[in-house]
Structure 1
């Protein structure tokens, strides 16, 4: 089994180029560690790398996130395309801002309650068994409500995003190639995201709904990019004007109907 340890780091070409520096000094000053696509199955003892801020471990065979308690300075963790089934052992990564876990085997988004600085979470294309979909733990969602700005959940068989409405600071939301069908549900969720500027829902059944694009642009007035296409200010103003006119006409018709009913009642 290939394990990421300080011994493996000592054999890397990057360290060999550091002339006049002891290995202990090198580990203490190390901020970025690149070990992607190295057939790594386990994270060993890296506690001597106390200043590590960015860790690249994508395209390996890691089954569990472990032995990262020392990494209190870590801000970016790249572990996409491994064999991880559960998000855990991240409680000490209080400075973590970007977490990449796409292409694993995760079924429940959980274990992020202590990550008070997390801004980006990438969970696209989990390798789920047929009939399974990616789920979200309510405690984790509440803990991310104030900080999370970017969420990528593309291609995860998701058919309901109602629970995600608590993420009120989202700016980028990608949920392409899922199973979202309810346009009304999505409108309701978008009403809770006043800062959203990028939305990608391509490949969902809801995209075939009548007035799909128009309705979601008016539901989220901050959108700048929608399904890969720019939303112009002119388009937004026109759609909002149409919606306002429709609302006024409906109100006028309701008032007219009420007045007619009143006249009939008093004859």
Structure 2
């Protein structure tokens, strides 16, 4: 089993050439970037001497658990895509982490990120899920990321609804390509809560085939610049917004006219509560009683 340790770093030619007269412990303390992608690494050992580590590249390995990173208080970028990770664990100490790459793993539930208050990018695309499974995002984690997350990638994860994502009000870039999104009304509702959204890609979802799919999303997302790889013309957006406003105004006018045309029965219920019988009431003898205004005085 290949384990990432300081001994493995010492054996690395790339890192050995950078020593330049420093003792190895001194070199480890000055180390800010660590490149160990595609090295068949299965586990992370004790790297606590690398106290100033800011960027860690561990993609394309065989890692199953995120561990032994509690020392990395200064870590801002963590690249662990294309491993065998099943759970997101042991990241609570990474208070400065801003970009987290976990695509291509075996994660089924996105959780354990509640302490990452500075996380701006989260990449979770292409999880290797069992047949019938879909990627779930824990509402607690979503709420904790609501004020910081700007970029979210959940491509190709069998996702069929986005309702819980409405809290991510700072999102600017959103990608959910090749999922199972189908409810147009739900998407409009969720996206109406994302006022900062600039770029979005939903290609490959059933909802893309709905009538006026593109027009409806453009009117909801007021700042959107690119939808499904195509730029949005500002004149087109303004036309659609005006058209929608005109349509809604016409609907309100029609509803108002219908309300005005409805004339309620002019008499109160008192006529039916023992204070006389309604005008035109037919008695059992067949005679119709005519209403006399003087009788009501």
CA distance in 2, matches of 1:172, 1:68: 28
**1:17 aligned partner:** 17
SS of 2:200 mapped into structure 1: strand
CA deviations over 1:198-229 (Å, ceiling 9, x no partner): 11110000000001000011111110111111
User: 1:265 Cα deviation (Å)?
Assistant: 6.3
**1:102 aligned partner:** 103
**1:229 aligned partner:** 230
TM-score by length of 1: 0.97
Using the TM superposition, name which of 124-133 and 5-14 deviates more. Answer: 5-14
Judge conservation of contact 1:155–1:178 (CA < 8 Å) in 2.
yes
CA distance in 2, matches of 1:17, 1:135: 44
SS of 2:174 mapped into structure 1: strand
The correspondence of residues 111-150 of structure 1 with structure 2, limited to 5 A, is 111-150=112-151
Judge conservation of contact 1:15–1:26 (CA < 8 Å) in 2.
no
TM-score by length of 2: 0.87
CA distance in 2, matches of 1:13, 1:224: 45
Runs (5+) with no aligned partner, structure 2: 267-297
- Number of matched pairs: 265
User: 1:261 Cα deviation (Å)?
Assistant: 2.3
The correspondence of residues 78-93 of structure 1 with structure 2, limited to 5 A, is 78-93=79-94
Q: Verify: 1:7 aligned to 2:2, yes or no.
A: no
**1:167 aligned partner:** 168
CA deviations over 1:33-57 (Å, ceiling 9, x no partner): 0000000000000000000000000
CA distance in 2, matches of 1:116, 1:94: 7
SS of 2:262 mapped into structure 1: helix
Larger Rg, first or second structure (1 or 2): 2
The correspondence of residues 1-267 of structure 1 with structure 2, limited to 5 A, is 1-18=1-18, 19-262=20-263
SS of 2:43 mapped into structure 1: strand
Q: What CA RMSD, in Å, does the superposition of the two structures yield over aligned residues?
A: 1.1
- Which ranges of 4 or more aligned residues in structure 1 deviate by more than 4 Å? none
CA distance in 1, matches of 2:98, 2:247: 43
Using the TM superposition, name which of 125-134 and 10-19 deviates more. Answer: 10-19
CA deviations over 1:172-195 (Å, ceiling 9, x no partner): 111110000000000000011011
Runs (5+) with no aligned partner, structure 1: none
SS of 2:88 mapped into structure 1: coil
